Amino acid sequence: MGVVNVTPDSFSDGGQWYGADAAIAHGLELVAQGADIVDVGGESTRPGAQRIPAEEELRRVGPVVTELVRAGVPTSIDTMRAQVAEFAVSQGVQLVNDVSGGLADPDMARLVAAAGVAYVVMHWRGHSRDMYARAVYHDVVAEVRDELARRVDEVTKAGVSPDHMVIDPGLGFGKRGEHNWPLLASLAELSVLGGRRFPVLVAASRKRFIGRLLAGPDGEPRPFSGSDDATMALTALAAAQGAWCVRVHRVTGNADAVRVAAAWRDARRNDAVLAIGSNLGDRLGILRAAVTEIANLPGTELLAVSPVYETDPVGGPAQPEYLNAVLTVRTGLAARELLGQLNRIEAAHDRVREVRFGPRTLDIDIISYSDQTSDDPVLTLPHPRARERAFVLVPWHDIDAEATLPEGSVTDLLAGLDRDGVRRHPESLLP
Protein backbone atom coordinates (compact mmCIF):
# COMPACT_ATOMS: atom_id res chain seq x y z
CA MET A 1 0.00 0.00 0.00
CA GLY A 2 1.56 3.24 -1.16
CA VAL A 3 0.82 6.46 0.74
CA VAL A 4 -0.41 9.68 -0.86
CA ASN A 5 -0.78 12.44 1.75
CA VAL A 6 -2.71 15.33 0.22
CA THR A 7 -1.81 17.52 3.19
CA PRO A 8 0.51 20.42 4.03
CA ASP A 9 1.46 19.03 7.44
CA SER A 10 1.79 15.22 7.48
CA PHE A 11 4.68 14.09 9.65
CA SER A 12 7.11 12.84 7.00
CA ASP A 13 6.11 14.27 3.62
CA GLY A 14 3.63 17.06 4.33
CA GLY A 15 3.31 19.41 1.37
CA GLN A 16 5.10 17.26 -1.19
CA TRP A 17 1.85 16.03 -2.76
CA TYR A 18 -0.49 18.75 -1.50
CA GLY A 19 -1.83 19.82 -4.89
CA ALA A 20 -4.22 17.52 -6.72
CA ASP A 21 -2.02 17.21 -9.80
CA ALA A 22 1.07 16.34 -7.76
CA ALA A 23 -0.89 13.83 -5.66
CA ILE A 24 -2.37 12.10 -8.72
CA ALA A 25 1.04 11.87 -10.37
CA HIS A 26 2.55 10.46 -7.18
CA GLY A 27 -0.19 7.82 -6.92
CA LEU A 28 0.47 6.69 -10.47
CA GLU A 29 4.19 6.61 -9.73
CA LEU A 30 3.63 4.37 -6.69
CA VAL A 31 1.68 1.91 -8.84
CA ALA A 32 4.50 1.88 -11.37
CA GLN A 33 6.86 1.03 -8.50
CA GLY A 34 4.74 -1.98 -7.54
CA ALA A 35 2.04 -0.73 -5.14
CA ASP A 36 -1.05 -2.95 -5.05
CA ILE A 37 -3.17 -0.22 -3.40
CA VAL A 38 -2.79 3.56 -3.18
CA ASP A 39 -4.01 5.06 0.11
CA VAL A 40 -5.17 8.68 -0.22
CA GLY A 41 -5.56 10.87 2.86
CA GLY A 42 -6.41 14.53 3.27
CA GLU A 43 -6.14 15.01 7.04
CA SER A 44 -2.89 14.72 8.95
CA THR A 45 -2.89 12.42 11.98
CA ARG A 46 0.62 13.32 13.14
CA PRO A 47 0.96 13.75 16.94
CA GLY A 48 -0.53 17.08 17.99
CA ALA A 49 -2.38 17.68 14.70
CA GLN A 50 -5.67 19.57 14.87
CA ARG A 51 -8.69 18.46 12.88
CA ILE A 52 -9.75 20.20 9.67
CA PRO A 53 -13.33 20.74 8.41
CA ALA A 54 -14.87 17.93 6.38
CA GLU A 55 -15.30 20.29 3.46
CA GLU A 56 -11.55 20.96 3.36
CA GLU A 57 -10.74 17.25 3.56
CA LEU A 58 -13.10 16.58 0.66
CA ARG A 59 -11.60 19.42 -1.35
CA ARG A 60 -8.15 17.88 -0.96
CA VAL A 61 -8.91 14.23 -1.69
CA GLY A 62 -11.91 14.45 -4.05
CA PRO A 63 -10.11 15.04 -7.35
CA VAL A 64 -7.28 12.69 -6.39
CA VAL A 65 -9.40 9.60 -5.69
CA THR A 66 -11.59 10.39 -8.70
CA GLU A 67 -8.67 10.46 -11.12
CA LEU A 68 -6.82 7.50 -9.62
CA VAL A 69 -9.93 5.31 -9.81
CA ARG A 70 -10.55 6.53 -13.35
CA ALA A 71 -6.99 5.45 -14.21
CA GLY A 72 -7.74 1.93 -12.92
CA VAL A 73 -5.72 2.25 -9.70
CA PRO A 74 -6.98 0.16 -6.72
CA THR A 75 -7.52 3.00 -4.26
CA SER A 76 -8.27 3.29 -0.55
CA ILE A 77 -9.39 6.36 1.37
CA ASP A 78 -7.65 7.24 4.63
CA THR A 79 -10.34 9.06 6.59
CA MET A 80 -12.20 9.08 9.89
CA ARG A 81 -15.30 10.72 8.39
CA ALA A 82 -18.25 8.86 6.89
CA GLN A 83 -18.98 11.87 4.66
CA VAL A 84 -15.55 11.66 3.05
CA ALA A 85 -15.69 7.87 2.81
CA GLU A 86 -19.11 8.03 1.17
CA PHE A 87 -17.83 10.31 -1.58
CA ALA A 88 -14.74 8.16 -2.15
CA VAL A 89 -16.78 4.95 -2.32
CA SER A 90 -19.16 6.58 -4.79
CA GLN A 91 -16.15 7.16 -7.05
CA GLY A 92 -15.09 3.52 -6.88
CA VAL A 93 -12.72 3.38 -3.91
CA GLN A 94 -12.45 -0.22 -2.70
CA LEU A 95 -11.25 0.14 0.89
CA VAL A 96 -11.85 2.56 3.77
CA ASN A 97 -8.83 2.96 6.05
CA ASP A 98 -10.20 4.43 9.29
CA VAL A 99 -7.49 5.09 11.87
CA SER A 100 -10.16 5.51 14.55
CA GLY A 101 -11.72 2.10 13.96
CA GLY A 102 -15.14 3.74 13.72
CA LEU A 103 -14.85 5.64 17.01
CA ALA A 104 -14.46 9.13 15.51
CA ASP A 105 -17.68 8.97 13.44
CA PRO A 106 -20.57 6.75 14.55
CA ASP A 107 -21.91 6.72 10.98
CA MET A 108 -18.77 5.20 9.49
CA ALA A 109 -19.50 1.52 10.14
CA ARG A 110 -23.05 1.82 8.77
CA LEU A 111 -21.72 3.55 5.65
CA VAL A 112 -19.11 0.84 5.08
CA ALA A 113 -21.70 -1.90 5.67
CA ALA A 114 -24.07 -0.38 3.11
CA ALA A 115 -21.27 0.06 0.56
CA GLY A 116 -19.93 -3.48 1.02
CA VAL A 117 -16.30 -2.34 0.73
CA ALA A 118 -13.32 -3.50 2.76
CA TYR A 119 -12.72 -1.72 6.07
CA VAL A 120 -9.53 -1.27 8.08
CA VAL A 121 -10.30 -1.21 11.81
CA MET A 122 -7.32 0.32 13.60
CA HIS A 123 -6.59 0.36 17.33
CA TRP A 124 -7.12 3.94 18.50
CA ARG A 125 -7.53 5.68 21.84
CA GLY A 126 -8.15 9.26 20.77
CA HIS A 127 -7.34 12.09 18.40
CA SER A 128 -3.82 13.25 17.59
CA ARG A 129 -3.97 16.32 19.80
CA ASP A 130 -3.72 14.25 22.99
CA MET A 131 -2.97 10.68 21.86
CA TYR A 132 0.15 10.27 24.00
CA ALA A 133 -1.75 11.08 27.18
CA ARG A 134 -3.58 7.78 26.60
CA ALA A 135 -0.44 5.74 25.95
CA VAL A 136 -0.54 3.84 29.24
CA TYR A 137 -0.44 0.03 29.10
CA HIS A 138 0.22 -2.81 31.52
CA ASP A 139 0.38 -5.44 28.74
CA VAL A 140 0.27 -3.64 25.40
CA VAL A 141 -0.26 -6.74 23.26
CA ALA A 142 -3.13 -8.10 25.38
CA GLU A 143 -4.79 -4.70 25.74
CA VAL A 144 -4.54 -3.80 22.06
CA ARG A 145 -5.87 -7.24 21.10
CA ASP A 146 -8.80 -6.96 23.53
CA GLU A 147 -9.68 -3.42 22.46
CA LEU A 148 -9.50 -4.40 18.80
CA ALA A 149 -11.77 -7.37 19.49
CA ARG A 150 -14.35 -5.04 21.05
CA ARG A 151 -14.18 -2.72 18.05
CA VAL A 152 -14.62 -5.63 15.66
CA ASP A 153 -17.68 -6.73 17.64
CA GLU A 154 -19.20 -3.24 17.49
CA VAL A 155 -18.47 -2.83 13.79
CA THR A 156 -19.99 -6.25 13.13
CA LYS A 157 -23.13 -5.25 15.04
CA ALA A 158 -23.36 -2.20 12.78
CA GLY A 159 -23.58 -4.52 9.78
CA VAL A 160 -20.01 -4.81 8.47
CA SER A 161 -19.16 -8.39 7.51
CA PRO A 162 -16.07 -9.75 9.30
CA ASP A 163 -15.06 -11.09 5.88
CA HIS A 164 -14.56 -7.45 4.81
CA MET A 165 -12.48 -6.38 7.80
CA VAL A 166 -8.75 -5.78 8.11
CA ILE A 167 -7.20 -4.96 11.48
CA ASP A 168 -4.33 -2.59 12.24
CA PRO A 169 -2.53 -2.48 15.62
CA GLY A 170 -2.14 1.29 15.26
CA LEU A 171 1.61 1.69 15.60
CA GLY A 172 2.40 5.12 17.01
CA PHE A 173 -1.24 6.01 17.65
CA GLY A 174 -1.56 6.37 21.40
CA LYS A 175 1.62 4.33 21.75
CA ARG A 176 5.14 5.27 22.66
CA GLY A 177 8.21 3.73 21.06
CA GLU A 178 8.49 0.94 23.60
CA HIS A 179 4.90 -0.13 22.85
CA ASN A 180 5.33 -0.55 19.10
CA TRP A 181 8.02 -3.24 19.12
CA PRO A 182 6.03 -5.86 21.10
CA LEU A 183 3.08 -5.29 18.77
CA LEU A 184 5.24 -5.85 15.70
CA ALA A 185 6.61 -9.04 17.25
CA SER A 186 3.09 -10.34 17.99
CA LEU A 187 1.24 -9.90 14.70
CA ALA A 188 0.14 -13.55 14.57
CA GLU A 189 -1.36 -13.29 18.06
CA LEU A 190 -3.05 -9.97 17.29
CA SER A 191 -4.62 -11.32 14.12
CA VAL A 192 -6.83 -13.84 15.96
CA LEU A 193 -9.84 -12.15 17.55
CA GLY A 194 -12.77 -14.11 18.93
CA GLY A 195 -11.45 -17.32 17.38
CA ARG A 196 -11.30 -15.76 13.91
CA ARG A 197 -8.18 -14.79 11.98
CA PHE A 198 -8.20 -11.34 10.35
CA PRO A 199 -5.89 -9.86 7.72
CA VAL A 200 -3.43 -7.42 9.33
CA LEU A 201 -2.28 -4.08 7.96
CA VAL A 202 1.07 -2.82 9.30
CA ALA A 203 1.81 0.91 9.02
CA ALA A 204 5.30 1.45 10.42
CA SER A 205 6.83 3.45 7.57
CA ARG A 206 8.94 6.45 8.69
CA LYS A 207 7.40 6.54 12.15
CA ARG A 208 9.24 8.18 15.02
CA PHE A 209 10.03 4.98 16.90
CA ILE A 210 12.22 3.88 13.97
CA GLY A 211 14.07 7.21 13.88
CA ARG A 212 14.73 6.97 17.61
CA LEU A 213 16.09 3.44 17.25
CA LEU A 214 18.49 4.73 14.59
CA ALA A 215 19.56 7.83 16.53
CA GLY A 216 23.13 9.00 16.08
CA PRO A 217 25.80 9.19 18.81
CA ASP A 218 24.42 12.57 19.85
CA GLY A 219 21.00 11.05 20.46
CA GLU A 220 19.42 12.92 17.55
CA PRO A 221 16.75 10.72 15.91
CA ARG A 222 17.25 9.76 12.30
CA PRO A 223 15.25 12.02 9.92
CA PHE A 224 12.00 10.53 8.65
CA SER A 225 13.28 10.03 5.11
CA GLY A 226 16.42 8.40 6.52
CA SER A 227 14.47 5.48 7.98
CA ASP A 228 13.29 3.98 4.67
CA ASP A 229 15.89 1.19 4.73
CA ALA A 230 14.83 0.22 8.26
CA THR A 231 11.21 0.31 7.10
CA MET A 232 12.10 -2.28 4.44
CA ALA A 233 13.51 -4.53 7.17
CA LEU A 234 10.27 -4.21 9.14
CA THR A 235 8.29 -4.91 5.96
CA ALA A 236 10.17 -8.17 5.44
CA LEU A 237 9.66 -9.21 9.06
CA ALA A 238 5.96 -8.32 9.03
CA ALA A 239 5.37 -10.13 5.75
CA ALA A 240 7.23 -13.20 7.03
CA GLN A 241 4.82 -13.21 10.00
CA GLY A 242 1.89 -13.26 7.62
CA ALA A 243 0.84 -9.59 7.49
CA TRP A 244 -1.72 -8.98 4.75
CA CYS A 245 -0.36 -5.59 3.73
CA VAL A 246 2.24 -2.96 4.66
CA ARG A 247 1.54 0.75 4.26
CA VAL A 248 4.70 2.55 3.08
CA HIS A 249 5.85 5.88 1.71
CA ARG A 250 8.40 4.37 -0.69
CA VAL A 251 7.22 1.32 -2.58
CA THR A 252 10.53 0.54 -4.28
CA GLY A 253 12.45 -1.79 -2.00
CA ASN A 254 9.43 -2.60 0.16
CA ALA A 255 7.82 -4.51 -2.71
CA ASP A 256 11.07 -6.48 -3.05
CA ALA A 257 11.05 -7.15 0.71
CA VAL A 258 7.53 -8.59 0.45
CA ARG A 259 8.60 -10.95 -2.34
CA VAL A 260 11.64 -12.11 -0.36
CA ALA A 261 9.48 -12.74 2.71
CA ALA A 262 6.96 -14.71 0.64
CA ALA A 263 9.71 -16.96 -0.70
CA TRP A 264 11.05 -17.40 2.85
CA ARG A 265 7.61 -18.38 4.18
CA ASP A 266 7.04 -20.83 1.33
CA ALA A 267 10.35 -22.54 2.07
CA ARG A 268 9.87 -22.67 5.85
CA ARG A 269 7.66 -25.68 6.44
CA ASN A 270 7.22 -27.58 9.69
CA ASP A 271 5.60 -30.88 10.61
CA ALA A 272 2.85 -30.73 13.22
CA VAL A 273 0.82 -33.38 15.04
CA LEU A 274 -2.82 -32.46 15.64
CA ALA A 275 -5.37 -34.23 17.83
CA ILE A 276 -9.03 -33.77 16.89
CA GLY A 277 -12.15 -34.81 18.76
CA SER A 278 -15.93 -34.36 18.89
CA ASN A 279 -18.71 -35.53 21.18
CA LEU A 280 -21.66 -33.36 20.10
CA GLY A 281 -23.77 -33.41 16.96
CA ASP A 282 -22.73 -35.40 13.91
CA ARG A 283 -19.38 -36.37 15.40
CA LEU A 284 -18.00 -38.21 12.38
CA GLY A 285 -19.26 -35.61 9.92
CA ILE A 286 -17.71 -32.77 11.94
CA LEU A 287 -14.34 -34.52 12.14
CA ARG A 288 -14.39 -35.28 8.41
CA ALA A 289 -15.16 -31.62 7.64
CA ALA A 290 -12.37 -30.50 9.98
CA VAL A 291 -9.84 -32.73 8.23
CA THR A 292 -10.77 -31.18 4.88
CA GLU A 293 -10.55 -27.65 6.30
CA ILE A 294 -7.15 -28.32 7.87
CA ALA A 295 -5.85 -29.77 4.60
CA ASN A 296 -6.98 -26.57 2.84
CA LEU A 297 -5.15 -24.18 5.17
CA PRO A 298 -2.62 -21.91 3.39
CA GLY A 299 0.70 -23.65 2.74
CA THR A 300 -0.46 -26.81 4.53
CA GLU A 301 -0.26 -30.43 3.37
CA LEU A 302 -2.03 -33.34 5.04
CA LEU A 303 0.50 -36.15 5.60
CA ALA A 304 -1.43 -38.80 7.53
CA VAL A 305 -4.78 -39.43 9.22
CA SER A 306 -5.18 -42.03 11.94
CA PRO A 307 -8.07 -44.42 12.38
CA VAL A 308 -10.97 -43.10 14.48
CA TYR A 309 -11.34 -44.14 18.11
CA GLU A 310 -14.36 -43.87 20.38
CA THR A 311 -13.24 -42.85 23.85
CA ASP A 312 -14.64 -42.13 27.27
CA PRO A 313 -14.62 -38.44 28.29
CA VAL A 314 -11.84 -37.40 30.67
CA GLY A 315 -12.94 -35.10 33.49
CA GLY A 316 -15.70 -32.52 33.37
CA PRO A 317 -19.45 -33.09 33.68
CA ALA A 318 -21.35 -36.15 32.48
CA GLN A 319 -21.27 -36.10 28.67
CA PRO A 320 -21.35 -38.30 25.56
CA GLU A 321 -18.40 -40.35 24.35
CA TYR A 322 -15.87 -38.79 21.99
CA LEU A 323 -14.64 -39.69 18.57
CA ASN A 324 -10.91 -38.94 18.41
CA ALA A 325 -8.18 -39.08 15.79
CA VAL A 326 -4.69 -37.73 15.14
CA LEU A 327 -3.40 -35.99 11.99
CA THR A 328 0.06 -35.07 10.84
CA VAL A 329 0.50 -32.05 8.60
CA ARG A 330 3.34 -30.15 6.97
CA THR A 331 2.76 -26.41 7.05
CA GLY A 332 4.33 -23.07 6.28
CA LEU A 333 2.23 -21.46 9.01
CA ALA A 334 4.06 -20.48 12.18
CA ALA A 335 2.85 -22.28 15.30
CA ARG A 336 0.79 -19.30 16.52
CA GLU A 337 -0.65 -18.79 13.05
CA LEU A 338 -1.61 -22.46 12.88
CA LEU A 339 -3.28 -22.19 16.30
CA GLY A 340 -5.27 -19.18 15.12
CA GLN A 341 -6.45 -21.02 12.03
CA LEU A 342 -7.44 -24.08 14.09
CA ASN A 343 -9.36 -21.86 16.52
CA ARG A 344 -11.18 -20.36 13.54
CA ILE A 345 -12.15 -23.84 12.33
CA GLU A 346 -13.42 -24.75 15.81
CA ALA A 347 -15.48 -21.55 15.96
CA ALA A 348 -17.01 -22.27 12.55
CA HIS A 349 -18.29 -25.55 14.04
CA ASP A 350 -19.82 -23.72 17.04
CA ARG A 351 -17.13 -24.71 19.53
CA VAL A 352 -18.09 -23.43 23.00
CA ARG A 353 -15.47 -22.97 25.75
CA GLU A 354 -17.70 -22.19 28.72
CA VAL A 355 -17.05 -25.37 30.74
CA ARG A 356 -13.56 -26.73 31.40
CA PHE A 357 -13.36 -30.28 29.98
CA GLY A 358 -16.98 -29.86 28.90
CA PRO A 359 -18.64 -31.32 25.81
CA ARG A 360 -17.70 -29.78 22.47
CA THR A 361 -18.62 -30.01 18.84
CA LEU A 362 -14.97 -29.85 17.81
CA ASP A 363 -11.67 -29.78 19.67
CA ILE A 364 -8.33 -29.42 17.86
CA ASP A 365 -5.04 -29.45 19.79
CA ILE A 366 -1.50 -28.98 18.54
CA ILE A 367 0.38 -31.88 20.13
CA SER A 368 3.78 -31.06 18.67
CA TYR A 369 5.25 -28.66 16.13
CA SER A 370 8.54 -29.90 14.65
CA ASP A 371 11.11 -29.74 17.45
CA GLN A 372 9.87 -26.48 18.91
CA THR A 373 9.31 -26.06 22.63
CA SER A 374 7.34 -23.32 24.36
CA ASP A 375 6.02 -22.72 27.87
CA ASP A 376 3.61 -20.02 26.69
CA PRO A 377 0.24 -20.76 28.36
CA VAL A 378 -1.54 -19.86 25.12
CA LEU A 379 0.41 -22.50 23.20
CA THR A 380 2.59 -24.88 25.22
CA LEU A 381 4.74 -27.15 23.04
CA PRO A 382 4.75 -30.08 23.07
CA HIS A 383 1.25 -30.40 24.53
CA PRO A 384 1.80 -30.83 28.30
CA ARG A 385 -0.83 -33.56 28.79
CA ALA A 386 -0.31 -35.61 25.63
CA ARG A 387 1.87 -38.13 27.49
CA GLU A 388 -1.04 -39.09 29.77
CA ARG A 389 -3.79 -39.30 27.16
CA ALA A 390 -4.28 -42.74 25.64
CA PHE A 391 -6.89 -41.31 23.27
CA VAL A 392 -4.07 -39.24 21.71
CA LEU A 393 -1.21 -41.72 21.90
CA VAL A 394 -3.11 -44.71 20.50
CA PRO A 395 -4.11 -43.09 17.18
CA TRP A 396 -0.75 -41.29 16.98
CA HIS A 397 1.05 -44.63 17.35
CA ASP A 398 -1.03 -46.00 14.47
CA ILE A 399 0.41 -43.47 12.01
CA ASP A 400 3.90 -43.01 13.51
CA ALA A 401 5.15 -45.81 15.73
CA GLU A 402 8.53 -44.07 16.07
CA ALA A 403 7.06 -40.80 17.42
CA THR A 404 8.54 -39.39 20.63
CA LEU A 405 7.77 -36.81 23.28
CA PRO A 406 10.28 -35.32 25.75
CA GLU A 407 9.17 -37.95 28.30
CA GLY A 408 9.86 -40.87 25.95
CA SER A 409 8.60 -42.68 22.87
CA VAL A 410 4.88 -42.97 22.22
CA THR A 411 5.26 -46.77 22.39
CA ASP A 412 6.85 -46.65 25.85
CA LEU A 413 4.38 -44.07 27.15
CA LEU A 414 1.45 -46.18 25.98
CA ALA A 415 2.77 -49.18 27.85
CA GLY A 416 2.10 -47.37 31.13
CA LEU A 417 -1.44 -46.21 30.31
CA ASP A 418 -4.87 -47.82 30.62
CA ARG A 419 -6.21 -48.25 27.09
CA ASP A 420 -9.56 -49.85 27.96
CA GLY A 421 -11.52 -46.64 27.29
CA VAL A 422 -10.13 -46.31 23.75
CA ARG A 423 -12.06 -48.41 21.23
CA ARG A 424 -11.50 -48.60 17.45
CA HIS A 425 -14.37 -47.10 15.46
CA PRO A 426 -15.38 -48.84 12.21
CA GLU A 427 -15.60 -45.64 10.15
CA SER A 428 -12.73 -43.68 8.59
CA LEU A 429 -12.18 -39.93 8.30
CA LEU A 430 -11.01 -40.28 4.71
CA PRO A 431 -13.14 -41.36 1.73
Torsion of CA 408, 409, 412, 416, to 10 degrees: 60
110 is catalytic: no
Cross-strand pairs, 78? 41, 97
> Which of these is catalytic: 222, 247, 288, 336?
247
Cross-strand pairs, 422? 311
247 is catalytic: yes
The per-residue DSSP string of 277-302 comes to EE-SSSHHHHHHHHHHHHHTSTTEEE
Pair 39, 60: CB distance under 8 Å: no
The per-residue DSSP string of 135-190 comes to ---SSHHHHHHHHHHHHHHHHHHTT--GGGEEEE--TTTT--HHHHHHHHTTHHHH
At 273 the three-state DSSP class reads: strand
At 314 the three-state DSSP class reads: coil
At 118 the three-state DSSP class reads: strand
Instruction: Give the CA distances from residue 326 to residues 72, 237, 394, in Å, rounded to whole numbers and listed in that order.
Output: 49, 33, 9
> Which of these is catalytic: 81, 196, 207, 360?
207
> Using CA atoms, how far apart are residues 300 and 298, in angstroms rounded to an integer?
5
> Using CA atoms, how far apart are residues 222 and 178, in angstroms rounded to an integer?
17
Pair 3, 27: CB distance under 8 Å: no
**CB neighbour burial string for 144-175, b if at least 16 within 10 angstroms, e if fewer:** bbeebbebbebbbebebeeebbbbbbbbbbbb
Closest CA to 365 of 355, 378, 376, 349: 378
Considering just the CA atoms, what is the radius of gyration of the chain in Å?
Answer: 25
Catalytic residues: 207, 247
